[in-house]
Amino acid sequence: MTSRTNRHTEGRNQGGTGEAASSDLEHRRQLAVARYLDGDPIAVICREMSCAKSWLYKWKKRYQATEPDWMQERSRRPESSPTKTPEALEAEIIRLSQTLSPDGAATVSARVIRDHLRHDATASIPSLRTIYRILNRQTKEVASPSPAMNNRHDNLTPRHMTR
């Protein structure tokens, strides 16, 4: 909901969260589309409901009488990530990191791991930044780094490995 529609909720549950707020939004969408279907001009509906025309056009476009949940918000998460690093390659990077520094005391940079991947003739070799992110993500899953280490800016060695 935009700041314009947030200001003019006309006595509805304003600071509500969860089911009540969602229900109010769905009711508002249904009301706007119903008014449009009854023949009210879009400009009048938007002015009286204090909403943008683009908002009304969005819900008018999604309206389908046969689907009872047409007025619910849709996820914006992409259905697929075609450029995502394959899980097998991520596992290989983590395995190399653990092999090159089994106790975790020595620093293993993204550059060293990339050189090992080249030596092993891996089909696609990710960038240094991608390797760094994979190592950083893996470390965050194990344990979160200390706040003091967040101030370091070495883009070739993961923060958790610099001391």
Amino acid type, 55: W
Cα–Cα distance, 34 to 154 (Å, whole number): 57
The domain tally of the chain equals: 2
Tens digit of pLDDT for each residue in 77-127? 888 888 888 888 999 999 998 888 877 666 688 999 999 998 887 678 899
Q: Which domain holds residue 93?
A: 87-161
Q: How many residues does the chain have?
A: 163
100 lies in the same domain as 153: yes
Q: Please state the pTM of the whole predicted model.
A: 0.45
94 lies in the same domain as 149: yes
3-state class (DSSP) for residue 106: coil
Token pair of 9, please? 């909720």
Tens digit of pLDDT for each residue in 24-76? 888 888 899 889 989 999 999 999 999 999 988 888 887 766 777 777 777 77
57 lies in the same domain as 110: no
Helices then strands, counting H and E runs in the chain, come out as 7, 0
- What does R_g of the chain's alpha carbons equal in angstroms? 26
